[in-house]
Amino acid sequence: AVQGTLNVLKACARSPSVRRVIYTSSGSAVTYMGKDVPRNQIFNETCWTSIDFCRHEKPPGWPYIVSKTLAEQTAAKFAKENDIDMVSIVPTLVVGSFLTPVVPSSVATSLALLTGEEKYFQFLGRMSYIHIDDVARAHIFLYEHSEAEGRYICSQSDASIEEVANMLSQWYPQYKVSEGFGDAESHSLHCLSSERLKMLGFEFQYTLEDMFEDSIQNCKQEGLPFQINN
């Protein structure tokens, strides 16, 4: 991830037509700060994942977490040293419709309570969500607003696995929603704040219900099996 990022930025540095680079990071580059993060932590753009913590504690998905963090840090350093106007967007779990021939991992993760894929439960204890269309709109927004600079978290909703299970049960009574989450049950109240992005004038258009509705409809078209209530 680091070398691929540098390859793109080096090409940008050589091109006289590149006005601004919008770098797509990840919420995982923000939230893994260490063991002593308060349960009600509000994460903002000043927060960075601790590489040492991830390599030592090895939380679920830690290689991805480390690679995204290192890539964004490397990109920011290279951009500064080479006078590249770079803005980072930091989306959380991206949900909604998709164009790929297979279900994206972020959508598969978000719908695990409907598909029964327990391997994803560990990521859903306390999760922040964003619709893919809002992510795309935020990219364009940050490119077009000259005053944008630095990092911008892009996240619309925060919810625990229990809250999502309750919501899905109400919204989709025809489906069986998994129960009993074990270690995935969350006692955290943390959230990722998009206040900086909103203060610049950006407005989210999609709710958490919109995100799941679009994902579910797309997955039904692709034949992804959901658990059915008898």
**Which positions are annotated as active-site residues?**
68
Q: In this structure, what token pair is assigned to residue 177?
A: 């929603």
Phi, psi torsion values for 142, nearest 5 degrees: -70, -30
- Which tokens is 115 given? 């598909």
Exposure string of 105-126, with b = 16+ CB inside 10 Å and e = fewer, is: ebbbbbbbbbbeeeebbbbbbb
User: Up-side HSE of residue 15: CA atoms within 13 Å toward CB?
Assistant: 12
Cβ atoms of 45 and 90 closer than 8 Å: yes
- Going from the C-alpha of 67 to that of each of 29, 55, 105, 108, 123, the distances in angstroms are 9, 11, 17, 21, 17
Is residue 28 a contact partner of residue 65, using CB atoms and an 8 Å limit? yes
Q: How many CA atoms lie within 13 A of 24 on its CB side?
A: 14
Q: What is the CA radius of gyration of the chain?
A: 18
Q: Collapse the DSSP code of 148 into the 3-class scheme (helix H, G, I; strand E, B; otherwise coil) and give the result.
A: coil
Q: Between β-strands 86-91 and 21-24, what pairing exists: parallel, antiparallel or unpaired?
A: parallel
